Chain A
Amino acid sequence: MSILEVKDLTKTFKKTPVIKGISFDMAEGEILGILGPNGAGKTTTLQMLLGILTPTSGSVNVFGLSMPKHKSEILESMNFSSTYTDLPWRLTVKENLIWTSYLYNIEDRSRRLDKIKSIFRLEKLWNRATASLSAGQRTRVNLARAYVNFPRLLLLDEPTASLDPEVAIYMREFFMNQRQRFNTSIILTSHNMAEVESLCDRVLILKDGLIVGNDTPKSLAKQIEDTRLNLRITKNLAGLTKLLTSRHLRSETVGGITAITVKESLLPIFLYEITKNNIHYSEISIDKPTLEDYFLKIAKGGSNEAL
């Protein structure tokens, strides 16, 4: 069942189109990543999903209700967290969360807040003023705030940026756990490709206000044909150079390791030719293409036909 349906969404600021008619949907319990270079329209898209910005045209339906017409009902079961959103800095962590619980009309307030305090490990920060917290601690409080209403759909903008690695791993596990236990759907933007690859079921790639990629992280990475073959050559380096020139292959040597960019389908033939040319090596490894390679290709202006 679709929890979110976006159809032909556009947003224009003073005659400049920022989002140019994008459509996508999202299943309940899915974790969807939105990636794109700076200025691609990620934040604008998130803001339209949240009702902060009103679309110029097109529609956003969340839980089967139209945004922004049913904004209040939708936002009761939805929440948002961003590293870059400031919390009321004069209030303590506890006051901030109490305040949020009022906004979401939470009935069993103290029980809910106790739960949130323990999930997000806020015991030591509980009575501290938000202004006195470090960036990482603030991110944690921001995430806690976003969970106060136990949302069905959660939008996370760079959720683990500025968290220390141990807490970042804990948070990632927490998101997965929430999905497993409560079928919580999550939309995530991040510059941490490894995080997106490990968390997201599907990734949308935005560029210049258009969706140019929409698939699982694995399938997107597969669209990159090039792999990197890393060899430590022990004999006949000249033979290898000659072979690379004749095959028009790119390579670079760092620390005695020669990294050769070669199409995945041609890898067996290339390895056979190395052996045939009496080139010896003592180490070999193959780097398969990743989501990051795909992202870099799109960002640099590679294949980007709108989907």
Chain B
Amino acid sequence: MKLKADRIKSYWRVWLRLTLQQFQTQISNARGAALLFIFGKLFRLATAFLLIYLIVGRAKLIAGYELPQAIFILALFNLNSSITQLFMRGIYVFRQKIVDGTFDFYLLNPLSELFYSLFSYTDPMDLLLFIPYLGITIWAGIGTGFAFTLPLIILIIITLILAEIMIISWHIVMMGIGIRYLEVDNTIMLYRDLEKMAAFPINMYGRLGSIFLTYIFPFALMATIPANLVFGLFNPWSLLGFAVLAILELKLALRFWHNSLLTYSSASS
């Protein structure tokens, strides 16, 4: 038990140190770039809101949702997406880590190589954006006119956690693909394009699209499902099924990862 607690403490310390280092590097080396990054992110969010406003302004409804509801879905999506970006930006540099031999170093120390690969590149800029995103989500939630009770907030948090588990699973799969085929960049771009579809109510993609975005790529859990919980359009007991699905996806992803490691030939081999 003590050993496990020590290990968790060790992971926490390492993550914190990595993040601080990353933050120092960004502050000292690229203050201008950091400002541009934040501006770019906020600009993208504003244009997305504008897009929704224009669509709903003409059609009155978007896939059956009113403007405030659609804005809430978009805000939830951005919040969830920023959490993913905050913790798992390391995937963008994963291929490089394999090629230059850094992945060997990940495998060489007592901490899990998966932890390193996924979380060793936490972007503090995303942390800074998390605060306005959270504010926007709360504002958009209030704007829908629905009541936010404590049990409902807990259910939303559970939904978002399940979404993150599934997202982590897919990131693990993409890194496994990276080990096998030295290809991550295009896979992650494909993944991000699919993810962006969840910024809008998934009902607009038809029945097949909804199934695809709910059960295979779980992006519905990022925004539409938690929003539907608020609007009373989703049975909370269904979350049990999603919990099973999330665990199953994680297990399969880990198996794929371990099998991929079998094929790994070190940069120095």
Contact = CB atoms under 8 A, between A and B. Distances in A.
Interface of A: 13, 43-44, 47, 50-54, 56, 71-73, 75-76, 80, 84-86, 99, 102-105
A52 B262 contact: no
B60 interface: no
Is chain B's binding surface mostly helix, strand, loop or mixed? helix
Nearest to A41: B269
A56 B265 CA distance: 12
Contacts of A50: 107-108
B107 A52 contact: yes
Contacts of A84: 268
Interface in B192-251: none
Contact of A47 (B14, B109, B262, B266): B266
Contact of A72 (B110, B262, B264): B110
A75 B113 CA distance: 12
12 contacts: A43-B269, A47-B269, A54-B262, A72-B7, A72-B110, A73-B110, A75-B108, A85-B101, A85-B105, A99-B17, A105-B6, A105-B9
B10 A13 contact: no
B1 to A, nearest CB: 15
Interface residues of B, number: 23
B104 A72 contact: no
B187 interface: no
A104 B109 contact: yes
Interface in B78-135: 101, 104-105, 107-112
B109 A43 contact: no
Interface string B59-79: 000000000000000000000
Given A72-B7, A99-B17, A105-B9, A43 B110 contact: no
B265 A13 contact: yes
A160 B188 CA distance: 42
A24 B261 CA distance: 24
Contacts of A103: 10, 14, 109-111
Interface in B116-171: none
B44 interface: no
B53 to A, nearest CB: 45
With most chain A CB atoms within 10 A of its CB, the pick from B6, B14, B268 is B268
B43 to A, nearest CB: 31
B31 interface: no
B139 to A, nearest CB: 40
B108 A52 contact: yes
A51 B112 CA distance: 11
